[in-house]
Structure 1
Amino acid sequence: MSDFALDDPSFYEDFLVEAQEHFEQIETNFLALEEAPGDLDLLNAIFRSVHTIKGAAGFLGLQKVQALAHVGESVLDDLRKSRMELNERVMELLFETVDMLKVLVDDVRIQVRKQGEPEDPDPSELIRSLEVIRKGGAAAAAAAPQAAAQGNLHLPALLQGLDEAGRKAGEAALIEGKSVVGIHAELDTAIYGTAFNPLSLFQMVELVGRLLYRQMIPREPLVDLDSFEPRDFHLDLVMVIEASEPLEEIRKVFGAVTHAVVTILPLELGGSAEAAAPAAEDRRKTGRRAADDKGASDTIRVSQAKLEHFMNIVAELIISKTMISHLVERLVPQVNGHPAAGVAKELAHASVYLDHVSKEIQASVLGIRMVPVKTIFSKFPRMLRDLAKASGKKIDLHMTGEDTEIDKSIIEELGDPMIHLIRNSADHGIESPEVRVKSGKSEVGTVILRARHEGDSVVVEIEDDGKGIDPAVIRAKAVEKGLLSQDRADAMADDEVIELIFAPGFSTAAKVTDISGRGVGMDVVRSNVRKLNGRVGVRSTVGKGSIFTIKLPLTLAIIDALLVKSGGQVFAIPGTAVEETLIVPPESLSHLTSRQAINLRGEVLGVSRLRTLLRSTAADAADEDGLSVVVIASAGRRMGIIVDAFVRRQEVVIKPLAPYLASLPGISGASIMGDGGVVLILDPAELLQLAVQEAV
């Protein structure tokens, strides 16, 4: 890759963001184009995106990106002008082009941010392949230009004064398959006294194409010399150009001209001047109109680093607010009847107001960080298409709830788990067309992605209508791999057995494929989701399909938590995992095999003491007033945790643990309280796992 042409890295950062947006739009349009090959709107949209990437790459000196985008743009231009037929070979090459462009652009990211080593692929072979299909396409479509060449160039009314030489120049370029545009410029007398030189219009042509012909055309016949006004313009400028840029770009360039009415008129053979005139009239604009049409953008781009810094500041504000609230709670009872009582009361009011303002700021910054899940959903139609082709299956993808918003820091980490689950659905879930037909299903399988809000959480579901997960097969594999004894496997409920697919190294695949079946993946899904303070579960019916559910907090920085006390220490349990709290009589505690349990409204619920799970040596608190039990849920499983006391619900700011504390079982982070003390944040999923190990 060549050295960067510009010193300011912000140019490249903007390019990376815009290119990613264009890539997502291109792939969405490509998939739609496969279903509707003749859709000109789709082709035009794809062409504009590739053209924009090419132009930006040229400006930044990214030669490989520019070269590959240029030939891809040429193929798209041939397709939209019917000089080439869109077939499967062309479609695959276009997909390959976008894939390589993404790699080349990612290399730019690596170099700009100095993160890793660039791949630096050579696009020359792909460029040659694209050029070959262009030549083949041009030969196949040669009859169309030859047929059109029999006609004459039809001119709109504004260009009717063009002489024979100008007409011939336009006709010759059109016969060669070039894009030809006429430009009519009507100059205004306000030009006098300004620095604008009308001849600069010729130089502007070089930005969008090549000048074929230029001419001055009289506006109207001169009848009376006495009425001649020397300061008026009596001639209009007409140009015929071979366009290298789309009409939108040409309009942008000439739309900026002030004190002139510039009209852009696409020309063609065999057309009619009457048909072209209305469209041309719509494109007629002055420089003032162009300036008015631009408008002011209501969005700005902010780097992720700045948002993270802002969020950290807000987190510190929340901690400070909590400290002040704590001090007010201590102060007010002590100064009742004292002369300082009035000041203490005002301080309490100020504390309440600070609490309100800090919550507003917190909500605002969280809103800024929120992005719709469609930013990640948009990657999967292309991926599922390729998986279906690789496996010889037919799969449709449906997506709902794409506008559901989630914290950007979470959505960036959600990609890998979802990739694993979708690959699992495509390989293990959806059957081959032949098998589906034999079982009475449609030969086309369906995968559904859903997203929705549930309280302070986001739920993402991946559902397929495939063969489902057979508990009997899972039991047999678990026993074969030594994960369970036969007796233990037989005693487990089907739902518990299905959860074993998340065990490290567990796989039921008969053979390893390029898609899945390597014995890795599902355990990675659960591990990655747990890192996000979320949980993943699965429901499945044999012969009907499976639904994988990921539940995540809206944000990782600040969470609502239940503070509890155990062994003289305060702990925080993420509110998303707390189902309910209750006080039960000590005598209601019973032993079920090797575990303790309580009867919760007719349900036998396993319980464990938090002190025991955390292997604390602190003494148990007295249970005279009953057992304080927190019912938590994670990954579709529930249990009760016995604590000494409930403290309160409170927003806590999550701080990472020091490396030497990161391996503590059942702990996911820490937070600073109002009195300056530190509380440990519990990991509900790991507590459940510790409870299972305790019972074994």
Structure 2
Amino acid sequence: MDMNHYLEVFIDESKEHLQELNQNLLTLEQNPEDMDVVNKIFRAAHTLKGMSATMGYHDLANLTHIMENVLDGIRNKKIAVTPELLDIVFLAVDDLEAMVESIESGGDGKRDVKDVIARLEQIEKGETLTQTISEIAVTTTEESLNNNYDQYEKTVIEQSQEQGYNCMEITINLRPDCLLKTARVFMVFEVLEKSGEVIKSFPSVEQLEEEQFESEFTVTFISKETPSELEQKITKISEIDSVKISFVNVSQLKLDDKAAEKDPIVIKEDELSSDEQEPAEKKHKKTVSKTIRVNIERLDILMNLFEELVIDRGRLEQISQDIEHPDLKDTVERMSRISSDLQNIILNMRMVPVETVFNRFPRMVRQLAKDLNKQLDLQIFGAETELDRTVIDEIGDPIVHLLRNAIDHGIEKPEIRESQSKSATGTIYLKAYHSGNHVFIEIEDDGAGINRNKVIDKAISKGIITKSQAKSLSDQEAFELIMAPGFSTADTISDISGRGVGLDVVKSTIQSLGGSIAIESTDGKGSKFSIQLPLTLSIISALLVEIGTEKYAIPLSSIIETAIIKKSDIMNAHHQPVIDFRGSVVPLVSLKDVFQVDVEDKDDEFVSIVIVRKADKMAALIVESFIGQQEIVLKSLGNYLSEVFAISGATILGDGQVALIVDCNALIK
């Protein structure tokens, strides 16, 4: 039976079960006596075991089977839930995730997990653990660096040497202060692949991509270049500490084929526990989820076709208004209603809650808190906020780096916090919310904050700014200096983060998505990093307005209401025109001045305004006249015009004119 047809479903469902394992294990740590949580963990592991065995991934099934035995012991009150036990189980889940990632990238899902299995078997037998979690990690790394090759790799090495190629093992050590280890690994591989071919890596490519290594990794490499030439190329990459190159001796190669000898695990119905065989009265309460998995590329094609349909729909509506034929008008109105419903369905199909990204952070924060001996409380708000799938796939790494940054150098040690009359437990807030056609993600901590003077002194010493420039910097401009390449104010080097190290990459990643990042901080009280990302919704509802001879579109999601006010109602506060909007003082912004549009001054005593908001802040935009509401297709202005102030894109109207789309968030400070 060909299982490749089911591979995509297997990978997606395995990731869901692994996420469920992680979430419920964290819950179990807080409530060790909660047997309902244990049963949920057991069911997820049991299902994953069955799926893996059916697909033929025996290493994955074997590890899950041993983990399942430990969970069964917990359910039957034979094994107590302890922090040490959970550390081992979390390590097993890490291995399971690495195996699934291997399968997803075309690998065989095999992995050396005998140390973790040995520890789990010790727990199952009630024995005392002989190694700590850190010792297991070190042992696993050391053993994985042995010269173990499969038959195919051994044959490639032998044939390459016969053809005059050099086969080498290159061991690279990254500097201890290297934050973006995966980026450095990628750069090393890029250099090597221009000079030859990488046969194997230790740890595996999947582990390197997930940063599941300390600072050292080894690659087996075939090339006609000499070791000295290769070493010279690799050492040009920044944050490389050392490079060691040795030739591979074919006669001493070991074959790694243990995994092939393992027997498959066959799951019989009578092996299901009583908890798996739920009572009949509970079964009928379950809702059946009828879903189908669709490749994201097909949705992209569907969206592009629908964008063209929306543009043509706008043209038809314009023609219908000009001709004023009743039958044509009725048909166009009906087509508009149907296409609007279709549009909502297509857009919702692409939207994914940021919860899919946020879910992995509690586990990471837990581990970092243990590593750094800090007490941390991660509070997540707005996880249900939805974002386009293409953006979701990219924002994970920037948030990881900002969280690690906040944990390592933002939150102080418990004793320091207590000496400053703070709670010993530091709090990190991770928030997501919609504003206009953007999503905001905020990472806020109640830690040490950013020392403005320290940042400026370091920037001057590095030649980024001069002393005269430093005097005129605002707080916001000073804080943004920490996002300069290689900038760090950290007093001690850390492999977790250094404040500023890697923030240049975070900034460039967010900008590549069409977003921006802002920093607020109070020395001694904490910092807030605010990421603004476009929804990347290709079709939005907007209010068309006119300024002079030009038309602009304001996203409806940003608008509170429109109004016409008397010029006599406009007041001044702090040299800024304002109005009284239902008891709130709202600043006035003239779009004519912002976009420098030539408009004839009129003696009219009334002014048309659009009141917009960003989170809890508001502004009133002065326009010349309102045209009406319309569905528009959001088109990018391209790389050359990406820095245009307060414009997020453009659209083509029904009459063929181009209207610029106003970014209200940029106008509200």
Give the TM-score band, short-chain normalised.
0.5 to 0.7
How far apart are 1:426 and its partner, in Å?
A: 0.8
**Pair 540,686 (structure 1): closer, same or farther in 2 beyond 3 Å:** closer
Find the counterpart in structure 2 of residue 327 from structure 1.
319
Residue 36 of structure 2 corresponds to residue 20 of structure 1:
no
**Pair 639,135 (structure 1): closer, same or farther in 2 beyond 3 Å:** closer
CA distance in 1 between partners of 2:68 and 2:564 (Å): 66
How far apart are 1:466 and its partner, in Å?
A: 0.9
Residue 268 of structure 2 corresponds to residue 208 of structure 1:
yes
Find the counterpart in structure 1 of residue 537 from structure 2.
556
Give the alignment partner of residue 2 of structure 2, picking from 6, 22, 26.
Answer: 6
CA distance in 1 between partners of 2:615 and 2:470 (Å): 20
**Pair 369,482 (structure 1): closer, same or farther in 2 beyond 3 Å:** same
Give the alignment partner of residue 634 of structure 2, picking from 646, 654, 666.
Answer: 654
1:241-295 CA-to-partner distances (Å, cap 9, x unmatched) read xx6432354x38xxxxxxxxxxxxxxxxxxxxxxxxxxxxxx4x6xxx9996777
Question: Retained in 2: the 8 A contact 1:598–1:607?
Answer: no
Find the counterpart in structure 2 of residue 673 from structure 1.
653
Residue 401 of structure 2 corresponds to residue 405 of structure 1:
no
**Pair 122,347 (structure 1): closer, same or farther in 2 beyond 3 Å:** closer
Give the alignment partner of residue 409 of structure 2, picking from 428, 449, 452.
Answer: 428
**Pair 420,600 (structure 1): closer, same or farther in 2 beyond 3 Å:** farther
CA distance in 1 between partners of 2:545 and 2:493 (Å): 47
CA distance in 1 between partners of 2:431 and 2:588 (Å): 32
Q: Secondary structure at the match of 1:376?
A: helix
How far apart are 1:123 and its partner, in Å?
A: 2.9
Question: Retained in 2: the 8 A contact 1:393–1:432?
Answer: yes
CA distance in 2 between partners of 1:599 and 1:483 (Å): 37
Q: Secondary structure at the match of 1:517?
A: coil
CA distance in 2 between partners of 1:679 and 1:550 (Å): 27
Find the counterpart in structure 1 of residue 364 from structure 2.
383
CA distance in 2 between partners of 1:531 and 1:583 (Å): 40
How far apart are 1:382 and its partner, in Å?
A: 0.4
Question: Retained in 2: the 8 A contact 1:474–1:498?
Answer: yes
How far apart are 1:95 and its partner, in Å?
A: 1.2
Instruction: Report the more deviating stretch, 646-655 or 51-60.
Output: 646-655
How far apart are 1:395 and its partner, in Å?
A: 0.6
Aligned-partner residue type, residue 268 of structure 2: V
Question: Retained in 2: the 8 A contact 1:83–1:138?
Answer: no
TM-score where L is the length of structure 2: 0.64
Q: Secondary structure at the match of 1:247?
A: coil
Question: Retained in 2: the 8 A contact 1:635–1:685?
Answer: no
Find the counterpart in structure 2 of residue 127 from structure 1.
114
- Report 1:515-664 matches (<5 A): 515-517=496-498, 519-561=500-542, 621=598, 623-625=600-602, 650-655=630-635
CA distance in 1 between partners of 2:478 and 2:628 (Å): 37
How far apart are 1:386 and its partner, in Å?
A: 1.7
**Pair 429,398 (structure 1): closer, same or farther in 2 beyond 3 Å:** same
Unaligned runs of 5+ in 1: 112-117, 142-205, 210-242, 253-282, 333-343, 589-596, 613-619, 690-696
Find the counterpart in structure 2 of residue 99 from structure 1.
94
CA distance in 2 between partners of 1:92 and 1:25 (Å): 17
CA distance in 1 between partners of 2:7 and 2:636 (Å): 32
**Pair 622,654 (structure 1): closer, same or farther in 2 beyond 3 Å:** closer
Question: Retained in 2: the 8 A contact 1:31–1:382?
Answer: yes
How far apart are 1:401 and its partner, in Å?
A: 3.1
Residue 62 of structure 2 corresponds to residue 74 of structure 1:
no
**Pair 438,355 (structure 1): closer, same or farther in 2 beyond 3 Å:** same
**Pair 546,107 (structure 1): closer, same or farther in 2 beyond 3 Å:** same
Aligned-partner residue type, residue 351 of structure 1: V
In our comparison, the structure showing a higher alpha carbon Rg is 1
Aligned-partner residue type, residue 652 of structure 2: I
Unaligned runs of 5+ in 2: 129-265, 580-584
**Pair 292,401 (structure 1): closer, same or farther in 2 beyond 3 Å:** closer
- Report 1:227-626 matches (<5 A): 244-249=271-276, 251=277, 283=279, 296-332=288-324, 344-454=325-435, 457-517=438-498, 519-561=500-542, 621=598, 623-625=600-602
CA distance in 1 between partners of 2:318 and 2:389 (Å): 32
Find the counterpart in structure 1 of residue 39 from structure 2.
44
TM-score where L is the length of structure 1: 0.62
How far apart are 1:448 and its partner, in Å?
A: 1.9
Instruction: Report the more deviating stretch, 24-33 or 404-413.
Output: 404-413
How far apart are 1:568 and its partner, in Å?
A: 7.7
CA distance in 2 between partners of 1:66 and 1:422 (Å): 33
How far apart are 1:55 and its partner, in Å?
A: 0.8
**Pair 482,567 (structure 1): closer, same or farther in 2 beyond 3 Å:** farther
**Pair 411,36 (structure 1): closer, same or farther in 2 beyond 3 Å:** same
How far apart are 1:380 and its partner, in Å?
A: 0.8
**Pair 652,85 (structure 1): closer, same or farther in 2 beyond 3 Å:** same
Matched pairs, number: 516
Aligned-partner residue type, residue 6 of structure 1: D
1:511-569 CA-to-partner distances (Å, cap 9, x unmatched) read 44222227444344444444555444333322222233334455522234566789987
How far apart are 1:465 and its partner, in Å?
A: 1.4
* Higher relative contact order structure (alpha carbons within 8 Å, sequence separation ≥ 6): 2
**Pair 497,329 (structure 1): closer, same or farther in 2 beyond 3 Å:** farther
How far apart are 1:102 and its partner, in Å?
A: 1.0
How far apart are 1:121 and its partner, in Å?
A: 7.3
Q: Secondary structure at the match of 2:125?
A: helix
Question: Retained in 1: the 8 A contact 2:438–2:532?
Answer: yes
CA distance in 2 between partners of 1:294 and 1:630 (Å): 48
Question: Retained in 2: the 8 A contact 1:468–1:540?
Answer: yes
CA distance in 2 between partners of 1:27 and 1:373 (Å): 17
Instruction: Report the more deviating stretch, 649-658 or 322-331.
Output: 649-658
CA distance in 1 between partners of 2:591 and 2:432 (Å): 32
Instruction: Report the more deviating stretch, 560-569 or 480-489.
Output: 560-569
Question: Retained in 2: the 8 A contact 1:85–1:137?
Answer: no
Q: Secondary structure at the match of 1:550?
A: strand
Aligned-partner residue type, residue 328 of structure 2: L
Question: Retained in 2: the 8 A contact 1:462–1:547?
Answer: yes
How far apart are 1:479 and its partner, in Å?
A: 3.2
Q: Secondary structure at the match of 2:368?
A: helix
Question: Retained in 2: the 8 A contact 1:621–1:644?
Answer: no
CA distance in 1 between partners of 2:116 and 2:74 (Å): 16
